[in-house]
Amino acid sequence: MKYWLTTLVSLGILLLVLLPGSTIPNPKIVGLDKVVHFTMFFIWITAVRYDFPSAKKWILLLVGLGFGVLTEFFQLFVKDRSFDVLDLVTDGVGVIIGLILSLYTVPFIKKYL
């Protein structure tokens, strides 16, 4: 499968955001959910850059932001979950920082792995 990494990471994110809120452990660490959102979208954009190295960066940015909106929208229909604007902002920050860093990390990964 040509785009296996993007597919795998995207499905993993969708699985996580579609879990009912009651099934997600809550260790009561302030901001942990934002760290999780940032990390998911940082990893997602890195996977996308790995699979689509020649794609225009602004298109990847828009697709990443759109995917963040989509995941938040889906949570409106999941028990004990909701659309959270701060989660969406954090998703976007993960995409932006991941996109910038992937300019350096993806060539390294492709060369050595």
pLDDT digits (tens, 9 = 90+) for 59-73: 999 999 999 999 999
Tell me the backbone φ, ψ of residue 30, rounded to 5 degrees.
Answer: -60, 130
Alpha carbon distance 69, 30 (integer Å): 23
What pLDDT score does 26 carry? 81
Split into its structural domains, the chain has a count of 1
What pLDDT score does 109 carry? 86
Which pLDDT band holds residue 56 (cuts at 50, 70, 90)?
Answer: very high
Instruction: Tokens 């993007």: give the residue.
Output: 6
SS3 33: helix
For residue range 77-113, what is the model confidence (pLDDT) as tens digits?
999 999 999 999 999 999 999 999 999 999 998 888 7
Domain with 98, as residue range(s), is 4-112
What pLDDT score does 27 carry? 83
Alpha carbon distance 31, 34 (integer Å): 5
Percent of the chain clearing pLDDT 70 (strictly above): 100
The mean per-residue pLDDT over the stretch 47-58 comes to 95
Instruction: Give me the chain's average pLDDT, please.
Output: 94
